[in-house]
Amino acid sequence: MNAKLDRMDRLTGNEKVNGARVILDYKTGKANVGGWLGARPDEPQLPLYAVARDENAGGEVAAVAFARVKAGEMEFKGIAREEGLIPEVGTLVEQRSAAAKQYGSWEDLLSSWRRELEALGREFAAGEARVDPKDKRKLATCRYCEVKPLCRIYERYGAPADGDAGSGEPE
């Protein structure tokens, strides 16, 4: 699989962070850190970079973040191993998402990403094609999918009520 990383910086400054990497993904739209968390992450791109860098290319990864480049809304949103690596990017304990509470540490988060992504990769390689949307309650996963009549998702789980279908954005 080929994937292109937007930006990776190598940190310098003190003994603790020297050589560690931060991975950045530029975004003009909504940046949802919660999409990296929990089982079957909705936005696995940055976790994938972090795990690949951590494992294959050497150089410990110490933070991942979206860099929002929309005019008037410039900001970083992400997760860092420790404070002060990227402006306004906090550690796991500072995340608002309830899903962040399941990780005991930054290392635990990296290990979890590795497990989730390896499992997804194995399923893909094995041709796994179950009709098994992640969000079975609101079916937000299926909102923009055009093959609903073929997979008969509404027959399995029922059509979401008006206003309950969500925005299509991961939660």
Contacting positions for ligand SF4 (CB under 6 A)? 131, 133, 141-142, 145, 147-148, 151, 153
Q: Which CB, 96 or 130, lies closer to ligand SF4?
A: 130
Report the alpha-carbon distance of residue 100 to residue 97 in Å, rounded.
6
DSSP string of 52-67, one letter each residue: HIIIII-S-EEEEEEE
Closest approach, Cβ 100 to ligand SF4, in A, equals 26
Instruction: Fill in the DSSP letter of residue 74.
Output: -
Q: Which CB, 98 or 159, lies closer to ligand SF4?
A: 159
Closest approach, Cβ 102 to ligand SF4, in A, equals 25
Closest approach, Cβ 120 to ligand SF4, in A, equals 14
Q: Which CB, 12 or 144, lies closer to ligand SF4?
A: 144
Report the alpha-carbon distance of residue 161 to residue 165 in Å, rounded.
7
| CB-CB neighbours of 88 under 10 Å | 10
